[in-house]
Chain A
Amino acid sequence: MHPAKSVIFFTTASGAGYGMMIWLGVLAALGEVYPDASLGIVTLGLAFALIVAGLLSSTLHLGRPERAWRALSQWRSSWLSREGLAAIIAFVPLGIFAFAWVVMGTNSGAAAMAGLAGAALSLLTLYCTAMIYASLRPIPAWHNGWTVAGYLVLGPMSGAVLLTAIFHLFGQSKPAAITSLLSLALLATGLLVKLAYWNLIRNEAPVSTAGTATGLGHLGKVEMTGSPHDNDNYLLREMGFRIARKHAEKLRTIAVALGFVLPFLCLLATIYLTGGLMPLLLSALATLSCAIGLAAERWLFFAEARHAVTLYYGEQAV
């Protein structure tokens, strides 16, 4: 599948934004973060900015962005519609939570309830995003449980890493210690999920073949000798993206090293190197590294996914 920048940005940015919201809601409900106004403005503001930027990016890549509101109508059948609705409904409790924190100076009681509701709806939105991909049968690399696990873990993971850096920036060592531990657990889980995912897509038996696509399999090997068109058409541009295996291997190494291993080591080091600027520098490095690693991971998620339509254009099995 064509790795469109808008969708890579949308899923990674809004994933991190929702991840931040989830942990802010949980920390507030546990009474583990003081409702400091400037801390609230930076954390909640950045989370909102990431979510909105992601949603805008995905809306602007539509052929008819002015009709985007229509996408909210088919929630009975469409995961894309459900994602849009969940995203918008989530803004209500998250807005109340942010207002209470920043303007009224409280994040406990009713505000914490709103925060928890917002956290649940954020997780639901991430689940809907995952299901958009996981429900597509013609793309076996997406049509599996590891796709869902990936989105559900990587969003909260990147959110926790980012929050850790901000807490250190504000000298909030107590919540930073909690999000550090959360980050370590999620980075380890995230790496396991992605390794399992890559293992699955590499070793999974093909679902469809050129033989079943044409129904000519009983005649032997099916090869295309004449294409309907000389130039790439929409189908090939959108779904016929092919990535060289050596590039995939390299990018996978980058995704593992920068997305998971380096942030894990940095945050592990903050437990021992507590003096001066070290925790802030290390957690900032973890955030930057995680962002680059996840961009590579998401690019691969699209680039490595092969679509059944390619079987009509020379691919032997997907």
Chain B
Amino acid sequence: MTSLPEKTDKKLGLVVDLDICVGCHACAVNCKEWNAGAKSAPLTDYDPYGKKPDGVWFNRVHTYETTDEAGHGQTVHFPRSCLHCEDAPCVTVCPTGASYKREEDGIVLVNEDICIGCKLCSWACPYGAREYDENEGVMKKCTLCIDKIYNENLPQESRVPACVSTCPAGARSFGDLGDPESEVSKLVAARGGYDLMPEQGTKPVNKYLPPRPRQDGREGDKAPRMLEHADDSTEGAGLIARWVDKILS
């Protein structure tokens, strides 16, 4: 059924901290690794060892440079994946019911057994979250690792999406963004987490945390160039130190 649920019990999603992300692409690689053997398997590659390798990926890491009016630049690494939108346009355009949003946790999925490969959902998504599998003839997308986060054979701490568990910098968090008391919701509130392209009206569940302001080179913002040696005062020093100081000076 491609009509969206009125509301979902949970809003499971990701919080990506752009202040922490170092652009190592580990999240993208582990996403590919896990999903190549999970629900959406195979995660097809074309010409993997040839001159123009290409394939289906659910997570792509871009690197941007921003330049303000004063010419100050900043480099920001930017992982991009499905945002599991509340008003997911990719779901409502689907003619077959293959694309759906789960009522229990808000995860947006594709039923590959009934997808006809019309690609319209990928046109409807402003974020480029869906990638078509040329070999299988169906659309594929991030599942938020449903086969990992609910997997009771895994220890509790591993029941998070592959991109989250692998991030060496701790830039990615996973949780229920519909619960204002959850850790991720508190993080979003504390750091001013935001939606990508809110003007598209998709109400993304995933949130991005902005990079913290950088030093702009003015005095006072810099770390001290040299340690200041407090060698002309014995204030606070112990008895022996004061005695040695007296002898030496």
Which A residues lie at the B interface, using CB under 8 A? 1, 62-65, 67-68, 70-74, 76-81, 84, 132, 135-139, 207-208, 210, 212-216, 218-229, 231-235, 238-239, 307-309, 312-313
Q: Given A64-B117, A78-B92, A219-B74, is A228 in contact with B28 using a C-beta cutoff of 8 Å? A: yes
Residues of B within 8 A of A84 (CB): 95
Q: Is B65's beta carbon under 8 Å from chain A?
A: yes
Contact A81 B95 (CB under 8 A): yes
27 residue pairs of the A-B complex, CB under 8 angstroms, read A63-B116, A63-B138, A67-B116, A70-B96, A73-B96, A74-B96, A77-B2, A77-B3, A84-B95, A137-B124, A138-B200, A207-B199, A208-B126, A215-B194, A215-B196, A216-B78, A220-B68, A220-B69, A221-B67, A224-B62, A226-B23, A226-B63, A228-B62, A231-B52, A238-B122, A239-B128, A309-B128
Minimum C-beta distance from A2 to chain B (A)? 10
Residues of B within 8 A of A233 (CB): 54-55, 57, 131
Contact B96 A67 (CB under 8 A): yes
Q: Which residue of A lies closest to B140 (CB)?
A: A234
Q: Given A81-B95, A231-B53, is A222 in contact with B64 using a C-beta cutoff of 8 Å? A: yes
Residues of B within 8 A of A219 (CB): 66, 68, 74, 76, 211
Q: With A and B bound together, what is the CA distance between A222 and B211 in angstroms?
A: 14
Contact A80 B118 (CB under 8 A): yes
Q: With A and B bound together, what is the CA distance between A179 and B56 in angstroms?
A: 51
Q: With A and B bound together, what is the CA distance between A84 and B93 in angstroms?
A: 13
Q: With A and B bound together, what is the CA distance between A185 and B57 in angstroms?
A: 51
**Quick one: CB contact mask for B180-196 with A, threshold 8 Å, 1 for yes?**
00000000000000111
Contact A64 B64 (CB under 8 A): no
Q: Is B197's beta carbon under 8 Å from chain A?
A: yes
Contact of B127 among A63, A74, A309 (CB under 8 A): A309
Q: With A and B bound together, what is the CA distance between A212 and B196 in angstroms?
A: 6
Q: Using a Cβ–Cβ cut-off of 8 Å, how many residues does chain B contribute to the interface with A?
A: 73
Q: Given A78-B2, A216-B76, A225-B65, is A64 in contact with B137 using a C-beta cutoff of 8 Å? A: yes
Q: With A and B bound together, what is the CA distance between A233 and B130 in angstroms?
A: 11
Q: Is B94's beta carbon under 8 Å from chain A?
A: yes
Contact A70 B199 (CB under 8 A): no
Q: Given A78-B95, A309-B125, A309-B127, is A63 in contact with B67 using a C-beta cutoff of 8 Å? A: no
| A contacts with B: majority SS | mixed
Contact A216 B62 (CB under 8 A): no
Contact A234 B56 (CB under 8 A): yes
Residues of A within 8 A of B95 (CB): 70-74, 78, 80-81, 84
Q: With A and B bound together, what is the CA distance between A135 and B194 in angstroms?
A: 25
Contact A214 B3 (CB under 8 A): no
Which B residues, 19 to 76, have Cβ-Cβ distances below 8 Å to chain A?
23, 25, 28, 52-57, 60-69, 72, 74-76
Contact A71 B96 (CB under 8 A): yes
Minimum C-beta distance from A269 to chain B (A)? 42
Q: Given A64-B115, A231-B52, is A74 in contact with B97 using a C-beta cutoff of 8 Å? A: yes
Q: Which residue of A lies closest to B135 (CB)?
A: A63
**Quick one: CB contact mask for B89-101 with A, threshold 8 Å, 1 for yes?**
1011111111000
Residues of A within 8 A of B123 (CB): 1, 136, 138-139, 238-239, 307
Q: Is B210's beta carbon under 8 Å from chain A?
A: yes
Contact B116 A70 (CB under 8 A): yes
Contact of B3 among A76, A137, A207 (CB under 8 A): A76
Q: Is B119's beta carbon under 8 Å from chain A?
A: yes
Q: Is B168's beta carbon under 8 Å from chain A?
A: no
Q: With A and B bound together, what is the CA distance between A207 and B8 in angstroms?
A: 29
Q: Which residue of A lies closest to B136 (CB)?
A: A63
Contact of B64 among A67, A79, A223 (CB under 8 A): A223
